């Protein structure tokens, strides 16, 4: 976790955002690992993972991921690229240890919290 500091309320916002992104990335990782096992043919596929496979084959972001995700209408390839850019933006904040001069507002799951914190 990024250290909370009473001097900078944005650190609390960053911590919450990191938690949300970690939940999303964990779900995506578990799902992809399971899909590799299932598609090898060694294990039966559940209805849930069959739905995920079909959504991916149609180029859609799986509904299972969208439950934990930020709002998006992008196809899955663009979604993954966008997710990478969002995480890179937050990672830069963490690496430098201080708030960036510019904030990409749509990176945040809850931008109202960021705006409240800034005020």
More confident residue, 3 or 26: 26
Helix (H, G, I), strand (E, B) or coil at 69: coil
Whether residue 1 lies inside any domain: the answer is no
Whether residue 91 lies inside any domain: the answer is yes
Tens of pLDDT, residues 89-116: 888 888 877 667 777 777 777 777 766 7
Question: How many domains does the chain fold into?
Answer: 1
Whether residue 4 lies inside any domain: the answer is no
Q: Domain range spanning residue 110?
A: 10-118
Whether residue 2 lies inside any domain: the answer is no
Spatial separation of the C-alpha atoms in residues 3 and 43, rounded to whole Å: 43
Spatial separation of the C-alpha atoms in residues 51 and 9, rounded to whole Å: 41
For the domain that residue 102 is a member of, what is the CATH number? 1.20.1270
Whether residue 5 lies inside any domain: the answer is no
Tens of pLDDT, residues 27-84: 999 999 999 988 888 788 889 989 999 999 999 999 999 999 988 999 999 999 999 9
**Confidence bin at 4 (pLDDT 50/70/90):** low
Nearest Cα residue to 79 out of 71, 90, 88: 71
> Would you state the structure tokens that stand for residue 92, as one six-digit string?
């830069």
Whether residue 28 lies inside any domain: the answer is yes
């Amino acid at each position: 976790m990024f250290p909370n500091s009473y001097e900078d309320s944005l650190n609390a916002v960053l911590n919450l955002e990191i938690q949300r992104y970690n939940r999303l990335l964990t779900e995506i990782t578990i799902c992809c690992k399971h899909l590799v096992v299932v598609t090898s043919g060694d294990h039966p596929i559940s209805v849930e993972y069959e739905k995920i496979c079909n959504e991916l084959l149609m180029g859609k972001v799986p509904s299972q991921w969208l439950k934990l995700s930020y709002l998006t209408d992008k196809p899955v390839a663009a979604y993954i690229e966008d997710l990478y850019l969002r995480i890179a933006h937050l990672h830069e904040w963490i690496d430098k240890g201080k708030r960036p001069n510019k904030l990409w507002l749509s990176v945040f799951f809850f931008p109202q919290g960021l705006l409240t914190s800034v005020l």
